[in-house]
Amino acid sequence: MTASTSPFALQVPVVRERLANGLRVVLSPDRSAPVVCVAVYYHVGMRLEPQGRTGFAHLFEHLMFQGSPSMEKMELVRLVQQNGGTLNGSTRYDYTNYFEVMPSNALELALWMEADRMRGPVITTAELDNQRDVVKNEIRVNVLNRPYGSFPWIDMQERVYSNWHNSHNGYGDMEDLDAASLEDVQAFFDTYYSPANAVLIVVGDLEPEHALGLARKYFEDIPAAPAPPPADIGEPRQEEERRFSRTDPLASRPALAVSYHLPERGTPEFYAMGLLHQLLAAGDDSLLHQELVQHRGYVGEVDASLNFLGHMHNAQTPLLWTTVVVHDDDVTADQIVDAMEGVIAPLRETPVDAESLERARTKARASLLRTASDSNYPRFGLTDLLGAFELFEGDASRVNDIDARFAAVTPELVMATAREYLRPTNRNVLMLEAGAAS
């Protein structure tokens, strides 16, 4: 460990076990309040849905609330809420998760429910049709019926990725959603929802031996199945800058998104890129905020991310580092891109100073702690980190190494990473033209 790791960094207890059927179990006790989060992460997301069935992974997630061998439609939701809990599921690029946050007296019930769900959906055509309508309304409210709805996440990935797994619209085209059948549901379940392709995570008010015993009781006799075939989600190195534009008929002001491909997850360069994000775009002290907001007054805020559907730790690469701004007509996209390049170029030429790098590390440390203590669903933030590291790096306890990985980044590595990944030829510029009068 180098001098700049902190005793105040994320450090949590992690207990890991693999059941006979291949299901991985990750436990992290936190006895400070009588609350527990139970989650199952399946290693399949938008990227692996079948061609001709865009949006299917997400539709499938909805269907997993519609009925199971022991529960009728909505019975799971009612059971969770009747016992004082809350629940959700989500579909991301590389995983689909299902979770309950419950008062800890309901731990065993939550495990039973997730084990029941893992045994497979039992649904009718009427339920499929109902959730198809619900999902279409989700797409309408989040994408179609609002300005900037697909900007930039769907718009950008459709244009910059060359591999279908990464480029297609994971929310789905309406025709593809219409084509989804009960046969598709069974095939998708059989391929991806096996115990060996999943991780059970329990975080909160638990005693590990006891929780592990319950996990065995409910999950271990779920039949093993072969792991799904490997998929190639790789992208070639980008050699030339690309520019795109589209008109949004609902938008009243132009907007701009600028994306760069990231280094591979888990590499030293990946952590250096995480610190470049902190330096350039996280917070009011960041270089891009200072340049675009404070000095030039081009925009009111700079919004940047390393993952459209989360953060740098909860997806596999390929990913994009993207900066998004909404601006006025009297500022051009070129002016903004040039101003950004004016801030980025020096990082390719000179090692960053020690004080700025240390501040970036501190911001990354605090950001990780905020992620881990996510409050909409108590204990879910840490659950999600543990699930991602178990699925993508094979060991959930690596969440405890993140601070050291950032600490190991040198000023020279930051410069080398900026040279390769913040090259103008690795850049993608998407201009949104405003189609609505303001």
Window 382 to 401, contacts with other proteins (CB under 8 A): 382
Asked if 246 is part of the footprint of other proteins (rule: CB under 8 A), the reply reads no
* Closer Cβ to other proteins, 67 or 318, answer by number: 67
* Closer Cβ to other proteins, 293 or 416, answer by number: 293
CB of 212 to other proteins, least distance (A): 16
In whole angstroms, how far apart are CA 333 and each of 148, 282, 342?
Answer: 16, 21, 14
Asked if 226 is part of the footprint of other proteins (rule: CB under 8 A), the reply reads no
136: its two tokens: 């279409």
How many CB atoms within 10 Å of residue 158? 16
18: its two tokens: 């693999």
Among positions 139-198, residues that touch other proteins (CB under 8 A) are: 140-141, 144-147
Q: Which amino acid is at 246?
A: R
Asked if 138 is part of the footprint of other proteins (rule: CB under 8 A), the reply reads yes
CB of 362 to other proteins, least distance (A): 5
* Closer Cβ to other proteins, 286 or 314, answer by number: 286
Binding other proteins by CB under 8 A: which of 55, 85, 172, 195? 85
Q: Of 334, 310, 360, which Cα lies nearest the Cα of 431? A: 334
Helix axes 56-63, 125-139, angle to 10 degrees: 120
Binding other proteins by CB under 8 A: which of 2, 34, 341, 419? 34
CA 222/CA 1 separation, integer angstroms: 42
Asked if 8 is part of the footprint of other proteins (rule: CB under 8 A), the reply reads yes
CB of 30 to other proteins, least distance (A): 5
DSSP string, 197-255: GEEEEEEES--HHHHHHHHHHHHTTSPP-PPPPP-----PPP-S-EEEEEEETT-SS-E
Asked if 408 is part of the footprint of other proteins (rule: CB under 8 A), the reply reads no
* Closer Cβ to other proteins, 68 or 428, answer by number: 68
Q: How many residues bind other proteins (CB under 8 A)?
A: 85
Candidates 19-27, 110-118, 398-406, 425-433; binding stretch for other proteins (CB under 8 A): 110-118
* Closer Cβ to other proteins, 182 or 233, answer by number: 182
CA 257/CA 262 separation, integer angstroms: 15
- 3-class SS of residue 270: helix
Asked if 227 is part of the footprint of other proteins (rule: CB under 8 A), the reply reads no
**Three-class SS string for 14-82?**
CEEEECCCCCEEEEEECCCCCEEEEEEEECCCHHHCCCCCCCHHHHHHHHCCCCCCCCCCCHHHHHHHH
Binding other proteins by CB under 8 A: which of 24, 73, 168, 398? 73
Asked if 137 is part of the footprint of other proteins (rule: CB under 8 A), the reply reads yes
Helices (H), 161-199: 164-167, 174-179, 182-192
User: Is there a contact between 334 and 371 (Cβ–Cβ < 8 Å)?
Assistant: no
* Closer Cβ to other proteins, 32 or 51, answer by number: 32
CA 405/CA 271 separation, integer angstroms: 7
* Closer Cβ to other proteins, 21 or 70, answer by number: 70
Candidates 83-91, 223-231, 402-410, 413-421; binding stretch for other proteins (CB under 8 A): 83-91
Asked if 112 is part of the footprint of other proteins (rule: CB under 8 A), the reply reads yes
Cα 427 from chain centre? 22
Asked if 213 is part of the footprint of other proteins (rule: CB under 8 A), the reply reads no
Question: Which residues are CB-contacts of 145 (< 8 A; sequence separation ≥ 6)?
Answer: none
CB of 230 to other proteins, least distance (A): 31
* Closer Cβ to other proteins, 116 or 393, answer by number: 116
Among positions 267-306, residues that touch other proteins (CB under 8 A) are: 282-285, 289-290, 294, 297, 299-300
